[in-house]
Structure 1
Amino acid sequence: MTTTTTEPTGGGGAPDATPTAARQRRSGGLGSYLLVRFLLIFPTIFILVTTVFVLMRLTGDPITAAQGGRLPAEELARRIAEAGYDRPILVQYWEYLGQLVQGDFGTAISDGREISDMLTSFGAATLELAFYALIVAFAVGIPLGRLAAYLRDRWPDAVLRVFAILCYATPVFFAGLLLKLVFAVNLGWLPVAGRASTGAEIQLQQQDSSTGIYLIDALKLGDGDVIQDVLEHAVLPAVALGLLTAGVFLRLVRTNVIGTLGSGYVEAARSRGVSERRLLRKHAYRPALIPIVTVIGLQIALLLGGAVLTETTFEWKGLGFQLVEYLQARDFVAVQGIVVLAAVIVALVNFVVDVIAALIDPRVRY
Structure 2
Amino acid sequence: MSAAVPVSPADSGQTAIPKARKNHLSAGFFKFVLCRFLLIIPTVFILVTVVFFVMRATGDPISAAMGGRLTQAELQKRIHAAGYDRPLIVQYWEYLKGLLHGDLGTTLTDNQPVVNILLHYGAATLELAILALIVALIVGIGLGRVAARHRDHAADAGIRCFAILCYATPVFFLGLVLKLVFSVLLDWLPSSGRASLVSELKFSNLNDPTGLYIVDAIQLGDMSVLLDVLKHAILPALALGLLTAGVFVRLVRTNVISTFNTGYIEAARSRGVSEKRLMKKHAWKPSLIPIITVMGMQVAMLLAGAVLTETTFEWKGLGFMLSNYLKARDFVAVQGIVILIALIVSVVNFIVDVVSALVDPRVRY
Q: How high is the TM-score relative to the length of structure 2?
A: 0.94
Partner of 2:199: 200
The list of structure 1 runs, each at least 4 consecutive aligned residues, that deviate by more than 2 angstroms after superposition, is: 5-8, 15-20
Task: State whether structure 2 residue 320 is matched by structure 1 residue 321.
Answer: yes
State how far apart, in whole Å, the 2-side matches of 1:16 and 1:62 are.
Answer: 72
Partner of 1:77: 76
Counterpart of 2:211, as a letter, is: G
State how far apart, in whole Å, the 2-side matches of 1:35 and 1:209 are.
Answer: 35
Counterpart of 1:137, as a letter, is: A
State how far apart, in whole Å, the 2-side matches of 1:334 and 1:16 are.
Answer: 65
Counterpart of 1:274, as a letter, is: V
Q: Structure 1 residue 205: deviation in Å?
A: 2.5
Partner of 1:239: 238
State how far apart, in whole Å, the 1-side matches of 2:87 and 2:120 are.
Answer: 33
Task: State whether structure 2 residue 56 is matched by structure 1 residue 60.
Answer: no
Helix, strand or coil for the counterpart of 1:71?
A: coil
CA deviation profile, 1:299-345 (whole Å, cap 9, x unmatched): 11100000000000000000000011111111111011111110011
Helix, strand or coil for the counterpart of 1:181?
A: helix
Partner of 1:213: 212
Q: Structure 1 residue 29: deviation in Å?
A: 1.2
Aligned pair count reads: 355
State how far apart, in whole Å, the 2-side matches of 1:269 and 1:323 are.
Answer: 53
Partner of 1:332: 331
Helix, strand or coil for the counterpart of 1:128?
A: helix
- Gapped regions of structure 2 (runs ≥ 5): 9-15
Superposed, 1:10-49 pairs within 5 Å as 23=23, 27-49=26-48
CA deviation profile, 1:260-315 (whole Å, cap 9, x unmatched): 11111111100100111111111111211121111111111100000000000000
State how far apart, in whole Å, the 2-side matches of 1:77 and 1:124 are.
Answer: 37
Partner of 1:12: none
Partner of 2:288: 289
Counterpart of 1:237, as a letter, is: P
State how far apart, in whole Å, the 2-side matches of 1:202 and 1:269 are.
Answer: 60
Partner of 1:114: 113
Q: Structure 1 residue 168: deviation in Å?
A: 1.0
Q: How high is the TM-score relative to the length of structure 1?
A: 0.94
Task: State whether structure 2 residue 357 is matched by structure 1 residue 358.
Answer: yes
Superposed, 1:246-265 pairs within 5 Å as 246-265=245-264
Counterpart of 1:227, as a letter, is: L
Q: 1:16 to 1:34 in 2, by over 3 A?
A: farther
Partner of 1:190: 189
- Gapped regions of structure 1 (runs ≥ 5): 9-14
CA deviation profile, 1:78-128 (whole Å, cap 9, x unmatched): 100000001111111111111111111100000001110010000000000
CA deviation profile, 1:191-228 (whole Å, cap 9, x unmatched): 11100000001111321100000000000000010000
State how far apart, in whole Å, the 1-side matches of 2:363 and 2:185 are.
Answer: 49
Partner of 2:311: 312
Q: Structure 1 residue 69: deviation in Å?
A: 1.8
Q: RMSD in angstroms over aligned alpha carbons?
A: 1.7
